Chain A
Amino acid sequence: MTTFSAVMARTWRENQLFSVLVELTYRCNLDCVFCYNDLGLRGTPLSKAQYLKLLDDLQAMQVMNLILSGGEPLAHPDFFAIGAAARERGFVVRIKSNGHALSGVLARRLRDEVDPYIVEISLHGARPETHDRQTRVPGSFERLLENLRGLRALGQRVKLNSTLTGWNEGEARAMFAIADDLGIPLQFDPEVTPRDDGDRSPLSLTASREGIRDLFRLEFERGDAAEAAAGPRPVEVARQADDAVPVSTSKHCGAGSSSIAIDPFGNVYPCVQWRVASGNLHEASIQEIWSGSAALAKVRQQTEEVKGKLAGFGKDAGLMNFCPGLAASRSGGDPLAVYDGATQRAAILGEVQAERKVIPLRVLETSSR
């Protein structure tokens, strides 16, 4: 019987678009100090009619996953119309939200009208002082906890994402405790990335080497405890296309071959972290861009070259969580340029693994984008 992983690997090989991340708007009700969004980007926002046409096209292309992000996706005036249309067209919808507005009527409407598979919400710390310092909105921490409890009470599946920063690195354990208390999984991304316009100022929030090492130790510790308590972990099904595909393919990732990202002005990119201009929906349909874009064709080729290059790093390659998009943004355009964050991550993970007797085969998913 064919496994889902094998189907996913095929989508990578055959350039079958499977996951689309749509940044509906860069408007936001929070103001995170390290936010990667390029607020200076200008263009004509896609209209509601254009979004509906896009959804029709993506459905016809048999795209399964639709990720609505931003900015704050709920800040888009047509969020519910677009979300409901996505549901009607049979997409598995993921929402990436800061959770700030997700209470009361809005939370119920989200569940009833959009029926997302999951709502992914960002947590920035374990204390109001830390969370609110990063979001720059006083009271956002307390409000988030209340909203998370409300979403759980509604039966909405929720996941927490957190980027480890120099400001919250001492609170990782306490953040896990909050998540455990709420019964919500929490996933950390140890890497702060530059802004999408190339501005590197967010990097000043990068977590320390010790902070990243402590996070990895904590994650292994928690993984061990969970396994001891529950026996072998159940196979996680309903994996998304942007996850690692544990079946051999010639590509490093599905950027531009199985997944793409679209910004509020209709610009199409291979990935939310790999912003190579690949076409614009004001000028061409998504089918035309998908099959005709020279930029996407080049990216598909480059994901193969990356795979070849990383093979030279042996076992470290798997520990790097190398992202060609970040490589390109950090090096001024070269997706093959191995960057410090990747080598540092491999070194730290190597150290933490060496402290342990066994080398786990578990793939740590890391990007919260």
Chain B
Amino acid sequence: MIGVDTVLRRAKDVRHRLLPPEAVVIRQTVPEVLVLNDVAGELLERVDARTPVSGLLDQVAPLYDVDRATLEADALRFLTELAEAGIVEVVA
């Protein structure tokens, strides 16, 4: 379960770039390419194996004109999907 206290890292074979309004993610080992929406892309960009999800939200919040609760709900959904797809891994 990913929550606001979860710390994540990108999987080693993940390569990604932000191409607003999308982000492109390539998993080298599979190989596969995924297109993310920009919120998921901005979150993925900030995943650093240190910052908890709440910190990622602090960084991303100023970019979007949306209330914190909505952003948090969306972010947790996106990050859960990224974890299920093997793009991010839970560190703590």
Interface residues, chain A, CB within 8 Å of chain B? Answer: 1-4, 6-7, 10-11, 16, 62-64, 90-92, 115, 117, 157, 237-239
Contacts and interface: CB of A to CB of B under 8 A. Distances in A.
Interface string B1-44: 00000000000000111110010101010111111000000000
Contacts of B31: 117, 157, 237-238
Contacts of B32: 237-238
B18 A7 contact: no
A7 B15 contact: no
A117 B30 CA distance: 10
A92 B35 contact: no
B28 A64 contact: no
9 contacts: A4-B34, A11-B19, A62-B17, A62-B18, A64-B26, A115-B28, A117-B28, A237-B31, A238-B26
A228 to B, nearest CB: 25
A151 B15 CA distance: 22
Contacts of B34: 4
Given A4-B24, A92-B28, A16 B35 contact: no
A92 B27 CA distance: 9
A184 to B, nearest CB: 15
Contacts of A2: 22, 35
Given A1-B35, A117-B31, 5 more contacts: A2-B22, A7-B22, A7-B24, A237-B32, A239-B33
Interface of B: 15-19, 22, 24, 26, 28, 30-35
Contacts of A117: 15, 26, 28, 31
A92 B35 CA distance: 15
B14 to A, nearest CB: 8
Contacts of A239: 33
Contacts of A3: 35
B22 A64 contact: no
Q: In this complex, which of A1, A11, A90, A239 has the most chain B Cβ atoms within 10 angstroms of its Cβ? A: A90
A151 to B, nearest CB: 15
A64 B19 CA distance: 10
Contact of B33 (A1, A115, A238): A238
B71 to A, nearest CB: 21
Given A7-B19, A91-B15, A64 B35 contact: no
Nearest to A90: B15
Can you list the 8 inter-chain pairs with the closest CB atoms, starting with the nearest? A238-B31, A62-B17, A237-B32, A64-B17, A237-B33, A238-B33, A92-B15, A4-B33
Q: In this complex, which of B16, B17, B32 has the most chain A Cβ atoms within 10 angstroms of its Cβ? A: B17
